[in-house]
Structure 1
Amino acid sequence: MILTITMNPSMDIAYQLDGFCLDTVNRPLETYKTAGGKGLNVTRVLSQLGESVIASGLLGGKIGEFIQEELDKVTIAHDFYPISGDTRSCIAMLHGEQQTEILEKGPTILKSEAQGFLEKFEERVQTVSIISISGSLPNGLPVNFYEKIITICQKYDKPIVLDSSGDSLKSVLTSEQKPTVIKPNREELSQLLGRNITGDIASLKKALQEELFNGIEWVIVSLGANGAFARHIDRFYKVSIPKIEVVNPVGSGDSTVAGITSALAHAASDEDLLKKSNVLGMLNAQEKQTGYVNMENYAALFEKIKVEEV
């Protein structure tokens, strides 16, 4: 069983537009509303892979009810901790090959709610094999909250895939509590290190050897259309991917995380882990719906991905 954690979920609203214009009316051609937040995108893709998965985190208000109802519709198990605040909404406007996003901060979490979640989490973590943690922390939670979660996971010797950014990620990286995997993109990597990291192999290899990443088994850097670059312990890999027609890139990083988590759960080889994760990211980008993959196209794309040790 895989456990996914979304501390700041949302109702994701995607508007498909011919074009986006400021200071006037924009009428969408299509509208999609989904149970969102990075961790829930991960959850849906894991479910589509046929994995046994349960979603957890914090939910409140009518949008919290909507999210649980949407998960029930696709028979995804969930065990969220209830909060007094209202779960947020997030909007993505898709116009041509561009996207404009409006992301609400979300509710303010009470100290009692934070503690209640951690107690519930410790009970749940003992029943699963691996934990995937995704996204931002809502207001009210301390910047080191992910450290507290990871400490509990390590108490029971459970691997952790962490997909976060900014202060919450840096807090983990500078602590003694290390996840098994992190997945920054190149921009996030540059922010972490305080300098521009280019896409060339030498720059990426030097970056992933920084002391900041000591103790982390896997660091996988997303490079968008240029694939990925990864370090597994002391080995480095360049991942090259084929060109595809992108329909909706929202959620592709989360689909990649789902692939990483699934591969770890099945003790896949380095090559298969990197191929599986990148295939799922591409499959998501080919669909209108966020956090959705068409598995009929999986095998063909898998064979087109090239993984080189460098």
Structure 2
Amino acid sequence: MILTVTLNLALDVTYQVPAVDWDGVNRVGAVHRRAGGKGVNVARVLAALGQEVLVTGLAGGPTGRAIEEDLRAARLPSALCAIAADSRTTLAVCETGAASGVRRTALFNEPGPEVTADELTAFVRHYTSLVAAADAVVISGSLPRGVPDGIYATLADLAGVPVIVDADGEPLRHAPKGRPAVVKPNAEELGRAVPGGTPAEGAQALRGQGAEAVVVSLGADGLLAVTGEGTFRARMPYPVVGNPTGAGDALVAGLALGLVEPAPWPDRLRRAAALGAAAVAAPVAGEFDRNVYADVHPKIVIT
């Protein structure tokens, strides 16, 4: 079983519109509302690939109840920990580009609820009980207010099984102290955590601080992986246009599979990069286009 941890769970709302008029009224063509947060998106992709998953995190208020209801409707197993404050909502406005054929997406992310010290302590106990049955753990996303920056390192250290951490800012900077199997920033996140130098140098710095491997998402340019077995690049055959929301989460799902289905790093990276590209072609986070995956996967070049 792969346990996904999302401390800042969300109700993700996606608006699809032909074009955005920032000074006028916009008619929304389609609306999608679903449980979200990076770990939930990872779990959706893993479940679609036939993996046993369990979603955990913090949820509260009416929005938290809507998140739990959607997880049940999606048949995603969950064991959430209750908090008093209301969970957050995120908004993605996806411009379908009917006139030009170009799609763009703007994201609006609320900061999340305030979590008390007692609620966090209860969650850590809850997490410890869940991780005992897990084969791997994915810890990802932003932190709600009141949660210390070092929590991801703490959770990774407590796991006792391989852990992937996908984070930004101070949580990313602290994460290697927990000795996770993989840390997965994108290039901008890595630059903020390790200012100056190349992505390879930044990734090597995080490895030196305790991470076993660092996989850097380079967007349309593919992936860079600095591992104990060497440094690898995955180069994409062509750019995929669409909604990038959740692409990194699909990529992380591919890396998580490499923890429970051991494979050489080139094979892990090819699968992860292909899933990320296929997620861009899907309309909402947590989904991926199987046809795009099948087309891209064999064409990815690993060096």
Match of 1:159 in 2: 162
Pairing of 1:139-218 with structure 2 (within 5 A): 139-153=145-159, 157-173=160-176, 175=177, 177-195=178-196, 203-210=198-205, 213-218=208-213
More off after superposition, 297-306 vs 144-153? 297-306
- C-alpha distance in 1 between matches for 2:156 and 2:200: 26
Pairing of 1:5-84 with structure 2 (within 5 A): 5-84=5-84
Instruction: Classify 1:234/1:205 alpha carbon distance in 2 versus 1 (closer, same or farther; 3 Å).
Output: farther
Measured after TM superposition, the shift of residue 267 of structure 1 is: 0.8
Instruction: Classify 1:208/1:151 alpha carbon distance in 2 versus 1 (closer, same or farther; 3 Å).
Output: closer
Instruction: Classify 1:212/1:158 alpha carbon distance in 2 versus 1 (closer, same or farther; 3 Å).
Output: closer
Instruction: Classify 1:168/1:269 alpha carbon distance in 2 versus 1 (closer, same or farther; 3 Å).
Output: same
- C-alpha distance in 2 between matches for 1:172 and 1:263: 20
Give unpaired runs (5+ residues) of structure 1: 198-202
One-letter identity of the residue aligned with 2:193: L
Measured after TM superposition, the shift of residue 217 of structure 1 is: 1.6
Instruction: Classify 1:204/1:172 alpha carbon distance in 2 versus 1 (closer, same or farther; 3 Å).
Output: closer
Aligned pair partner of 1:106 in 101, 112, 122: 112
Alignment RMSD, CA only? 1.6
Q: Is the 8 A contact 1:5 1:131 kept in 2?
A: yes
- C-alpha distance in 1 between matches for 2:34 and 2:58: 17
Match of 1:279 in 2: 274
Measured after TM superposition, the shift of residue 212 of structure 1 is: 6.3
What do residues 236-284 of structure 1 show as CA deviations (whole Å, max 9, x unaligned)?
A: 1111112244222110000000110012111121111101111111111
Give unpaired runs (5+ residues) of structure 2: 98-102
- C-alpha distance in 1 between matches for 2:133 and 2:219: 35
One-letter identity of the residue aligned with 1:186: A
Match of 1:128 in 2: 134
More off after superposition, 77-86 vs 240-249? 240-249
Say which SS state the counterpart of residue 272 (structure 2) adopts: helix
Give the TM-score normalised by structure 1.
0.91
One-letter identity of the residue aligned with 1:144: G
Match of 1:200 in 2: none
What do residues 157-200 of structure 1 show as CA deviations (whole Å, max 9, x unaligned)?
A: 31100000001111224x3x2211111111111111222x5xxx
Aligned length: 297
Q: Is the 8 A contact 1:220 1:229 kept in 2?
A: yes
Pairing of 1:255-274 with structure 2 (within 5 A): 255-274=250-269
Measured after TM superposition, the shift of residue 213 of structure 1 is: 4.0
One-letter identity of the residue aligned with 1:149: L
Say which SS state the counterpart of residue 78 (structure 1) adopts: coil
Say which SS state the counterpart of residue 210 (structure 1) adopts: helix
- C-alpha distance in 1 between matches for 2:275 and 2:33: 21
Q: Is the 8 A contact 2:156 2:163 kept in 1?
A: yes
Q: Report percent identity of matched pairs.
A: 33
Q: Is the 8 A contact 2:206 2:214 kept in 1?
A: no
One-letter identity of the residue aligned with 1:226: D
Match of 1:249 in 2: 244
Q: Is the 8 A contact 2:277 2:293 kept in 1?
A: no
- C-alpha distance in 2 between matches for 1:296 and 1:45: 15
One-letter identity of the residue aligned with 1:122: T
- C-alpha distance in 1 between matches for 2:187 and 2:92: 22
What do residues 120-172 of structure 1 show as CA deviations (whole Å, max 9, x unaligned)?
A: 1111111111000010110111111212212211xxx3110000000111122
